[in-house]
Structure 1
């Protein structure tokens, strides 16, 4: 047997935990995501605690969220067009420069709202490029039989970053107002170094084509996703469920407040809920080996229908946290199932665009849901709003059960 054949067999037998390049990518992207979350937490604190107005904080928050609407689709096309590793490196460099600008301004004693808005917009924009490039790159860094496990670990990492980032950002801000942004800058540096150490290519070899048209490329990604019956249906159902969860999130805050609870109790709910998301991501592989994507989507809609009205049972933060954990756990499993399904069937050269379209559709309802939830709670009260939310979620569950498109998702996920 030749040395090459021996090497190939050793690579095939190597577990994912021994995959050096995936581990570097996983750690680097995790540090980058944590830094992003730390900075995102610190932006509103900086404005409000350093003499800014509520309207100024709103402007900074708007600038941070705007990329989700403006950048998703062109970012997906760019990730498929350009070298993904270089895209991620440029993202780390750009975000690092933005954070350096904020740190410098604060050390000089200046609080410029336009600068904070620009930094928040840049940070949010490059994070979209970064996430899309990393998700599209994973299937090229791991072996096909390890893809589900790799994406499960990525989902757990994302849940953990969200869970740890908020309290860490708040704690660092309490020490020094500029410290969260410096930590975010350091995280980008670590992520960049990890990317430079990876040997594996992030995409398959592309054939050189003539002049490219951004609109045509985005349209091609949208058309590809539209023709995938299961993904089209699943993403639509998730978008509908996000409307409900905006209502439940605001309802939990209102329940705590109306029962003389404290921000600390709300933090307990958030932490317990976040732990549920991590648990769902870590256990997602177990479900993927036993259930098809269609059964996971149907099961998620059904379980959510049962959990949503239970929010009215008790104002106890532990109970509310447990319900939030259940919702987040199911959400992490369903996100993983959809992600694995897309990664397996989508061509490599279409990955970025497909993921960006799916993200835009599924999360694009969050803003609408927040506005609708606030209006409903103000005019229909807590019980009425949760009742409508439960009815809408039940409708989604019925659609999932009866939909031939949802039932078509029978491809094995492992």
Structure 2
């Protein structure tokens, strides 16, 4: 898709410095640099997800306040609004590997400070809010740099599969981190933070052994002021009607999902279950996410981007409604598994589409703008959901979330940019050769 969504073919949709001859393509499993990046990013994601899972649990079980829990959940989400866009410009302007190293070191220091506070029984809500915000911000720098680096470490024909593996890794981390974090928290409250420190240190070592550059050699040098580069990325995304419309819809749905997750915490807490049950239910979402990521290319070969967007939002609306009446963990696990499956398909399909239409020297900024549009308002979802659950209760809050998701389905079906994406080179079905 071009900047005006014309039907003309896009030249060089995915650039790569790797040799293009088929006989020189190294399988991903034997690509040393890709595997170091892939596993190292997995350790970083696991460490980040462990603490992000435990922060709300720590506050809720310490204070029994959904409002305070909403505040700490908002602190973990606020960086998606405030930090992502400038972080994207940094990722395109500076060495991506060094940014990732700095992020790992910062996360070690932050998690260690919370570890000491929990060990000393000196838990202070403002400290947790600051730590959650800092750790979330550093994780954004790391994630943007890692995603931007992938296509510079693999052959261009391997990009869809590499991105699918990245998403499967992320969903697998979610599947592991949530039960592990909640279980460790249930046993000894400081152990999740200790494990987070270890995970970031392992990731740091992995980064030091990668040989290839994380940037393409033909990228133009920075032109001067940072805000001008940020504006360039924003303007490029604004010139993509489908991306603009799709990410607006995803932004609204992600706000609702923050409420869905907070509702799960409240249901499990009010039902007298252990915090470990939260992890088990969310694990089902991770299992669904892995399955969605691994089958995303199949869906892209069979349906258009419009069908994925409209159909996915419809399934999400169905997933929310049961929370109004269901309290048993097993049905909740099934609901979260289906929700996670759609998320896995969405994330891979969206990542491949974005990488196909975006030049490498803009990718960090474009990805940061996309992620800001998609999740920048998540903190509002946590704040609103925390207040709604406190004032209106679970049933009325869930019915409201279901109605809002239904409105998003109608908006997607009627949106002309979503409808017309099928007429663009990458908006229809993915050719079987692209798998």
TM-score for both structures, normalised by structure 2: 0.81
Could you tell me how far 1:280 is from its partner in structure 2? 1.2
Distance across 2 between alignment mates of 1:366 and 1:287: 27
Distance across 1 between alignment mates of 2:394 and 2:59: 31
Q: Structure 2 residue aligned with 1:10, among 23, 26, 30?
A: 23
**Residue 3 (structure 1) aligns with:** none
Could you tell me how far 1:127 is from its partner in structure 2? 0.7
1:207 aligns to 2:206 (yes or no): no
1:73 aligns to 2:85 (yes or no): yes
Q: 1:14-413 maps to which residues of 2 (within 5 A)?
A: 14-43=26-55, 63-103=75-115, 109=120, 111=122, 113=124, 118-173=130-185, 177-205=189-217, 206-210=219-223, 212-253=224-265, 263=275, 265-312=277-324, 314-377=326-389, 382-410=394-422, 411=426, 413=430
Could you tell me how far 1:245 is from its partner in structure 2? 2.6
Could you tell me how far 1:40 is from its partner in structure 2? 3.1
Could you tell me how far 1:81 is from its partner in structure 2? 0.4
SS of 1:409's equivalent in the other structure is: helix
Q: Give yes or no for contact 1:22–1:141 (8 Å, CA) kept in 2.
A: yes
Provide closer, same or farther for how the CA distance between residues 121 and 329 of structure 1 changes in structure 2, counting only shifts above 3 A: same
Could you tell me how far 1:26 is from its partner in structure 2? 0.6
Could you tell me how far 1:91 is from its partner in structure 2? 1.4
Query: Which deviates further from its counterpart, 144-153 or 305-314?
Result: 305-314
**Structure 2 unmatched runs, 5+:** 1-18
Q: 1:383-407: per-residue Cα shift (whole Å, max 9, x none)?
A: 5544443333233223322322113
Distance across 1 between alignment mates of 2:102 and 2:269: 43
SS of 1:201's equivalent in the other structure is: coil
Distance across 1 between alignment mates of 2:115 and 2:388: 40
Distance across 2 between alignment mates of 1:381 and 1:59: 18
Provide closer, same or farther for how the CA distance between residues 340 and 375 of structure 1 changes in structure 2, counting only shifts above 3 A: same
RCO higher in structure (CA 8 A, sep ≥6) = 2
Distance across 2 between alignment mates of 1:158 and 1:221: 25
Could you tell me how far 1:255 is from its partner in structure 2? 5.2
Could you tell me how far 1:252 is from its partner in structure 2? 4.3
Distance across 1 between alignment mates of 2:407 and 2:68: 39
Q: Give yes or no for contact 2:51–2:196 (8 Å, CA) kept in 1.
A: yes
Provide closer, same or farther for how the CA distance between residues 184 and 305 of structure 1 changes in structure 2, counting only shifts above 3 A: closer
Provide closer, same or farther for how the CA distance between residues 249 and 126 of structure 1 changes in structure 2, counting only shifts above 3 A: closer
Provide closer, same or farther for how the CA distance between residues 7 and 367 of structure 1 changes in structure 2, counting only shifts above 3 A: closer
Q: Give yes or no for contact 1:229–1:408 (8 Å, CA) kept in 2.
A: no
Distance across 2 between alignment mates of 1:244 and 1:30: 27
Distance across 2 between alignment mates of 1:307 and 1:47: 27
Distance across 2 between alignment mates of 1:178 and 1:150: 35
Distance across 1 between alignment mates of 2:63 and 2:264: 28
Q: Give yes or no for contact 1:95–1:123 (8 Å, CA) kept in 2.
A: yes
Q: Give yes or no for contact 2:280–2:333 (8 Å, CA) kept in 1.
A: yes
Q: Give yes or no for contact 2:82–2:376 (8 Å, CA) kept in 1.
A: no
**Residue 9 (structure 2) aligns with:** none
Distance across 2 between alignment mates of 1:408 and 1:260: 49
Provide closer, same or farther for how the CA distance between residues 340 and 268 of structure 1 changes in structure 2, counting only shifts above 3 A: same
SS of 1:330's equivalent in the other structure is: helix
Distance across 2 between alignment mates of 1:118 and 1:372: 20
**Across the two proteins, how many residue pairs are aligned to each other?**
405
CA RMSD of aligned residues (A): 3.3
